[in-house]
Amino acid sequence: MKFEGTQSYVATDDLKLAVNAAITLQRPLLVKGEPGTGKTMLAEQLAESFGTKLIT
């Protein structure tokens, strides 16, 4: 599995690198940021792109 972004979510190269490293290493990824910066949207798009359910 490799995350490349989706049609509705354009990820930066650094973010794609971090997400793919977490997937490869099978480790959690802590995403920090101010409200409204897209943290939840990233989780939703990851779940959608990998065909899994997002647990909130």
pLDDT at residue 26 in the model: 94
Q: Is 52 exposed, middle or buried (0-12, 13-18, 19+ CB in 10 A)?
A: exposed
Q: What is the pLDDT of residue 29?
A: 93
Count of domains in the chain? 1
Averaged over 40-55, what is the pLDDT? 91
Q: Which domain holds residue 36?
A: 1-56
The answer on pLDDT for 1 being more than 80 is no
Residue 6 has pLDDT above 90, yes or no: no
Three-state DSSP at 27 gives coil
Q: Would you state the pLDDT for residue 8?
A: 83
Q: What is the pLDDT of residue 4?
A: 83
Separation CA 53–CA 13 (nearest Å): 25
The residue written with tokens 């997400």 in the block is: 19
